[in-house]
Structure 1
Amino acid sequence: MKVLVTGGAGFIGSHIVDRLILEGYEVVVADNLSTGSPANINAESRFYQVDITGDDLQDLFAKEKPEVVIHHAAQADVQVAQREPVFDSMTNILGTVNLLQCCITYNAKKLIYASSAAVYGAPCYLPVDENHPVNPISNYGISKYVPELYIKAFHKNFNLNYTILRYANVYGPRQGLKGEGGVVFLFARRFLAGEPPLIYGDGEQTRDFVFVEDIVNANLLALEQGDGMVINIGTGAQVSVNDLCSRFREIFKSDLRAEYLEPRPGDIKKSVFDISLAKNVLGWQPLVSLETGLRQTIEFYRDIWREV
């Protein structure tokens, strides 16, 4: 099977590419390298430096004719989305529509789309399941949700198969080296530098932290399962930012104390996923504990920054 991974030089996409190649798939990578890194490109893939919003994407499809597309190319920085909503929507919405049109024109069988917990907005109840109301409160959440509607429309009108995976807070090696990093990356950077970690608000806000390799497993399962469905991918465990900071202190055997800053506007207080559907439909469950994932992530950054 030939699989196209958009954003395949980025954080999550590159890990998916590596696993696909390991499993024997023929893999094509599309990435404009705006936030992806050449260092992440697997040498056994065929790489095209193209933007999903441009005409070059059609040339790629005409040449490669992928059977399945795993779509991770995106503008993924929440703050950039707030500052530059036109750029954000052009990339995430129009770029996805361009990709969908290419899928139809060149007879791709299925699209797997990386969506986000941001589409739910502030939770009405916890844990958040797939039936939870969709009410994004950020530009980023809007630009990740609108493509879901287009994907469903293309399925109805053109019979394009799909699986939509809504991710919780993904972390792991390769995150943040270009572009948005997330709190795990930011904590790792501060602790490795011997600087106090920064926490916005009181630190009691909770998140569902899922390791990148578990995200990879979900995507590979979705190649054959979860057709026509929207599925949450998280851990089902709430972790507060204060607790996360304590775990970093334990790993580093550090007495660094957090510096607390003003809360960021629109920051959601509590968030955690119900992952029953992923377990029942995909046969998926998270395998990497937070402790193990944090240690692997920290070691990656320690090695990277030692070389700089």
Structure 2
Amino acid sequence: MHILITGGAGFIGSHLVRFCQAKGDDVTVLDNLTTGTLDHLPQSGYTFWESDIRDKAIADRITGGHFDAIVHLAAQTMVDASLRDVSFDADENIMGTLNILEAARKGVVKRVIFASTAAAYGDVTEKDLPIQEDHPLEPTSFYGLSKITVEHYLALYAKLFGLEYVICRFANVYGERQGDKGEGGVVSIFAKRIAQNLPITIHGTGEQTRDFVYAGDIASGIYAALKTPHINDIYNLSTQTEVSINNLVALFNRIAGKKLNPTYTAVREGDIFRSTLSNVKAKEKLQWEPQIQLEEGLRHTFDYFMIEK
């Protein structure tokens, strides 16, 4: 396949580029290098375009690229940033995506894979866990709202123009090369600070939970979405396992071989309390399931930051 990966020099993108290369695909990476970096990418075996997804000129280049598929990862990904600057979030996540979709339509791209988020669901009650794809969408941040908006655009592009899509709602992704500028998660923040012998801070009581899924598993899930016959649909990519932030710290205690004493502060606005996503549909229709257990993935991540410190 001839695949364009937007945001390919970012955290998740760098895992996906390697996965696609291993499958023998022809990969082009599009990235503005705001949060991504060429250091994340392999030394060779791909084409690189430095540009912003909002740039009208890049739409013409994509149109002429004759891609079989586009994996759209490029986005503003921080919940708190979406609350501070609503317009910027919408500009990147909605208007930038529409630029890509128009290029896909004009270039007769067969399929678009869109990276959506667990933030689309918002806070849910305990009885709704693990969250299924048909659960009502009630985001608590503009980041979640912008992702949902794009999901609706994709459905209409499929209806009006025949553009195939698969939406992947990611749980909390972690792994090597995860940054703290635009795509920073609690795992990377903790791993980096622990590796540097710096204190860590927990926002809230630490009893809030997340569904942590390794970036390599996300890459294989995206690839399954590229291949599946079950198109124009939404799939959670998750472990379907609920882990508290306090339990995450306990795992880092064991991995780092030290006793961590986190500082607890106020909950951040827009954060959800409990989250775990059902992956039953992805297992059934994408023939995908995660392979990396949390402690193994955390070790990979911690070892990476120990080298980088």
Same fold (TM over 0.5): yes
| Displacement over 4 Å in runs of 4+ | none
* Counterpart for residue 283 of structure 1: 287
- Distance in 2 of aligned mates of 1:44 and 1:304: 24
Write the mapping of 1:57-206 to structure 2, written as runs, cut at 5 A. Answer: 57-124=58-125, 125-176=128-179, 178-206=181-209
Q: Which amino acid aligns with 1:85?
A: V
Measured after TM superposition, the shift of residue 82 of structure 1 is 1.1
Unpaired runs of 5+ residues, structure 1, are none
In structure 2, how many angstroms separate the alpha carbons of the residues matched to 1:298 and 1:136? Answer: 31
CA deviation profile, 1:195-250 (whole Å, cap 9, x unmatched): 33211111000100000000001011111113111000110100000000011011
Aligned-pair Cα RMSD in Å: 1.1
Structure 2 counterpart of 1:257, from 254, 261, 284: 261
Q: Is residue 216 from structure 1 mapped to residue 242 from structure 2 by the alignment?
A: no
Q: Is 2:7 the counterpart of 1:7?
A: yes
Aligned length: 305
Q: Distance in 1 between matches of 2:271 and 2:53?
A: 29
Structure 1 contact 210–235 (Cα < 8 Å) conserved: yes
Moved more, 76-85 or 65-74: 76-85
Partners in 2 of 1:214 and 1:113 — Cα distance? 16
Higher mean displacement: 257-266 or 271-280: 257-266
Deviations 1:241-265 (A, max 9, x none): 0000011011111122111111112
Report which stretch shifted further, 103-112 or 49-58: 49-58
Q: 2:249 maps to which residue?
A: 245
Aligned AA for 2:153? Answer: Y
Letter in 1 for 2:147: K
- Measured after TM superposition, the shift of residue 304 of structure 1 is 1.2
Q: Identify the residue that residue 40 of structure 1 maps to in structure 2.
A: 40
Q: TM-score, structure 1 length as denominator?
A: 0.96
Letter in 2 for 1:258: P
Take 2:157 and 2:60, find their aligned partners in 1: how far apart are those partners? 21
3-state SS in 1 of match to 2:64? helix
Tell me, what secondary structure is at the counterpart of 1:223?
helix
Tell me if the contact between 1:71 and 1:112 (Cα under 8 Å) persists in the aligned partners. yes
Structure 2: state its 5+ residue gaps: none
Query: Does residue 235 of the first structure (1) align with residue 239 of the second (2)?
Result: yes
Once residues 180 and 224 of structure 1 are traced to their aligned partners in structure 2, the CA distance between those partners, rounded to angstroms, is: 27
1:116, distance to aligned residue in structure 2 (A): 0.2
Q: Which amino acid aligns with 1:254?
A: K
Spell out, residue by residue over 1:43-62, the C-alpha distance to the aligned partner (whole angstroms, 9 max, x if none): 21111111111112223214
| Matched residue type, 1:210 | V
| Paired residue secondary structure (2:261) | coil
SS at match of 1:147: helix
- Separation of aligned partners in 1, 2:169 and 2:258: 35
- Percent of pairs with identical residues: 41
State the shift of 1:177 in Å.
5.3
